[in-house]
Each structure stands twice: as C-alpha cells, then as structure tokens.
Amino acid sequence: MDSVTVTATRSDRPITEIPQAINTIKRDQFTDHQLGVTLDEFGRNLPGVFFQNQFNFTQDLRIAIRGFGARSPFGVRGIQMRVDDIPQTLPDGQTQLDAIDPAMIERMEVLRGPSASLYGNASGGMIHITTRNPQHAFEVSPRLVFGQYGLVKSELYAGGRTENFNYGLFGSYLQQAGWRDHSRMENLFSQVKINFKTGSDSDWMVLLHKFYSPDSKDPGALTLAESRANPKQASANNQLFNASESINQEQFAVRYRRNVAPGQLITITTHTLHRDFQNLLPFTNGGQVEFSRWVGGAMLQYSSDHTLWQRPNRLLAGIDYGIQNDDRQRYNNHFGERGLLNLNQIERVQNIGPFLRNEWRIFDRLDFVVGGRWDWLHYQVKDTFLTDNNQSGSRTLSQGSGTAGLVYHLGDAHQLYTHVATIFEAPTTTELINNPAGKGGFNP
C-alpha cells in the first residue's frame, strides 16, 4: 500500500511517526455517490467523532471529537479546522462550516485529541481539509443531484495543470424544501484555487471563495408531545417570529513557501474574511441579530530537517496572529419585522501564539516528540448604545500549552505510542456578550 503522509501536525510527516490518533480520508468513487451536502459524509465512521444536526442549515452541523465540542449549543467550538492550511476557526474559538462544500474535498485529516501546542485556543481536535486539485492538463466535472423534499445540488468543477502551474474553479448551488415545515434553504458557493511555482525552490497558492445563503429557515425544537403528534411540524414560535438566517461571506488567502536551504522550509500565509450575518430568533427582546465581521491573520512557520547527535531530527517553529472584529447590533423581533435597536457594539478579539515542536529519532525504533506554545488573547468591547450606560471594557487572557510523546516502531506498519498534552478553551464572543443583566458589554 502507498505510504500515508499527513499535514495536520503543521508539516508533511509519515503517519507512523506521529504519537497521536489521526485518520486520513481520501476522496474516492464512493464520495461521488453522496449528496455532497454536509461535511459528515466524509467522516461518519471515524471512531470518537460525532456529528449532529446535519439537516438544520440554520443551526449548522455540530461536531464533537472525543467529547470536545459537545457542549456547543450550535455550530462548532472546541475544535480547530483548516482548509488548504487556511484557518477556518476564529481567534475566539468558533468555527462556521457553512462555507465548506463537501464536493470540494480531496482529502480530510482528523486529529483526535488535544493539539493546543500546535494550534492554541479550542484545540480539542483538529480537522484539516485539502480541496481538489486538477489531475490532468484540462478537466471538467459537472454533477447534478436530485432528492426528495425539493433537494437539488448542482456542481461544476473545471481545472488544468502544467509543470509549474495549476488552477481549479468550482461552483455549486444547493436548495431544499426540507422534510419539516419551515426548513427551506438555499445557498451558492464558488471557489478559485491557483498554485504556481516561481522557481525550483518556491511556490505560491492563491485562494478565493464566496458563500451566499439568502434565506435559511429554522424549524426549531419540538416537545415530546409535539413530536409524537406531528414530527414534521415546526415550532410555533419559530414560525410566528420567522426564525431564519442570511449569510454573505468572502475569504481570500495567499500562501508562500520557500526552501531557504536544503531541508529548511519557510511558509508565510496571510488571509482575510468578511461575513455579513442576519439572524431572526423566536422571541421579541433582541430577537433580530446582525453583524458585519472582519477577520484577518498571518502565520510564519519555519521547519528544519537535520541531525541531532547524529540522529534524524525535525524542528518546527513559528508564530500565528489573528484578529476578529464584529460590528454587532440587536433589534427587537416583532413577528419577523424589525423593531427598536437594543444593542450596538463592536467586539474585537486578537490572538498571538508562538509555538515550537521537535521530532527526534532517538534510536532506530524510537521517536520522541515534544512541543509547546504560548497564547495571548485580548478581548475588547466598545459599546455604542449608551442609553443603558456605557458597557465598554476589555480583558486579556494568556495560556501556555505543552505536549510530549513517544513512538516505538514494532515494524514498518505497526507502532506503539504514548502521548500527553494540554488544551484550553477561551470564551467566545457569543459567551462574553451573554450578559445576565440584559445589557451589552461583558458577561461578568
């Protein structure tokens, strides 16, 4: 069988030399028989990985890895996610999956267990996705899926490659009426991915994607009696208040890699994301939420393959920086119509995290891995709704993380490993603004 190389540990490494539980799932013919609608289609059979809420596109898919992420009321937290080395997890630890089209996945790596020494906040597990790259000089791959309850998924992938250049263009449209009442949704997704070499020792990747979901309905939860009477019905309040959401998102990223010397690689990555979000909740007071989010970041990473005391050694060092800026408003929800403004504030989170990892072959059959990271997070709220006094404020949190592990090679295909690591979770902005006093600012 072909050897398996993984990148979820921030560098190309044979899976047999990593003292952690990692699964690699590659795109195959079976993938083309899936709907191409939700991310769980790639990872349903992974041990320790749990998917929930696949068919409520307003609440988003929930993922738990060995329990991390299980306490999230909606969406993903406690787990890091990257697509083509670009972070999808925000500096405060939240991850949105709606802008990841499963039809674009070439392979997915799932690291099960704490990895904060590599990724910092909310690293109870790691999902790293690589999107499709063209395999031929030119290729076109259309796909159309029909299903019950108004399901239509149309896709078109086109790409090509030469010795020093390749490109991939992808677009998709998804809609469904839904099995339950008040669960209609539709979205459009597009992506451009370009890779090119500027020399024998350097290359670039440019990535641009666009996601648009004009209106997704939320049917809400039912009581046991309501479910037994009619499981297809929507919650009465969700229909009364027109519970739904609208999303418009763009992301742009550039990655540059260069071999500065034999065995030494420097990687520089920059990325930015803009997300406009509107959400109608099934209650009056503050029941309409909207924000304009800007996210930016930069990563610098250095890896060196050399010998340490005449034994193979890999050193990995770098620093991550991320900033998140949410301009958030809340209005009263009068049965789907906008009411009075009752919250207006700017929430900002910054994160800086230097890290170091060393992978050393101590003996012919024994590998030793050790790593550490220090994270600094700064939260700031600027209250611009002053009728209930000024709720502005700031907080700074910091945390160190460490890992150590051993791999003993019984043979070429069998290993024993042991691993110890730490993880931390900082509050998300959603938690920080959940003020019991009903005001803006921080939850004390």
* Across 338-355, average pLDDT: 94
Residue 432 has a pLDDT of 74
Q: What is the mean pLDDT of the chain?
A: 92
Using CA atoms, how far apart are residues 165 and 160, in angstroms rounded to an integer?
8
| CATH for 5-226+235-432 (3.40.470.10, 3.40.50.2300, 2.40.170.20, 3.30.1330.10) | 2.40.170.20
| pLDDT for 369 beyond 80 | yes
CA count, 13 A, side-chain hemisphere, 298? 2
| pLDDT for 437 beyond 80 | no
Summarised one tens digit per residue, pLDDT across range 146-201 is 999 999 999 999 999 999 999 999 999 999 999 999 999 999 999 999 999 998 99
| pLDDT for 370 beyond 90 | yes
Summarised one tens digit per residue, pLDDT across range 397-419 is 999 999 999 999 998 889 999 99
* Cβ neighbours of residue 419 closer than 8 Å, sequence gap 6 or more: 19, 20, 113, 369, 403, 404, 405, 406
Q: Which of 342, 251, 328, 248 is nearest to 295 (CA)?
A: 251
Residue 387 or 371, more confident? 371
Residue 36 has a pLDDT of 87
Using CA atoms, how far apart are residues 232 and 211, in angstroms rounded to an integer?
29
| pLDDT for 388 beyond 90 | no
* Across 423-430, average pLDDT: 88
| Cβ proximity of 168 and 121 under 8 Å | no
- Domain locations in the chain as residue ranges: 5-226+235-432
* DSSP bridge pairs for 250: 210, 274
User: Distances in Å between the alpha carbon of 4 and those of 7, 24, 107, 243?
Assistant: 10, 8, 12, 45
Residue 219 has a pLDDT of 95
Q: Which two tokens stand for residue 418?
A: 């042991």
Summarised one tens digit per residue, pLDDT across range 79-123 is 999 999 999 999 999 998 888 999 999 999 999 999 999 999 999
CA count, 13 A, side-chain hemisphere, 209? 25
Summarised one tens digit per residue, pLDDT across range 38-59 is 888 888 888 999 988 888 888 8
Angle at 302 between CA 68 and CA 95, to 5 degrees: 25
Residue 218 has a pLDDT of 95
Tell me the Ramachandran region of residue 302: left when phi exceeds 0, alpha when psi lies from -120 to 50, beta otherwise: beta
Residue appearing with tokens 């597990």: 125
Using CA atoms, how far apart are residues 125 and 158, in angstroms rounded to an integer?
33
Summarised one tens digit per residue, pLDDT across range 122-148 is 999 999 999 999 999 999 999 999 999
Per-residue pLDDT band at 29 (split at 50, 70, 90): low
Residue 7 has a pLDDT of 86
Per-residue pLDDT band at 438 (split at 50, 70, 90): low
* Across 428-436, average pLDDT: 76
Per-residue pLDDT band at 386 (split at 50, 70, 90): confident
Length of the chain, please? 444
* Across 267-295, average pLDDT: 96
Summarised one tens digit per residue, pLDDT across range 224-255 is 999 999 999 999 999 999 999 999 999 999 99
Phi, psi angle pair for 429, to nearest 5°: -60, -30
Summarised one tens digit per residue, pLDDT across range 15-24 is 888 889 998 9
Residue 59 has a pLDDT of 83
| pLDDT for 276 beyond 90 | yes
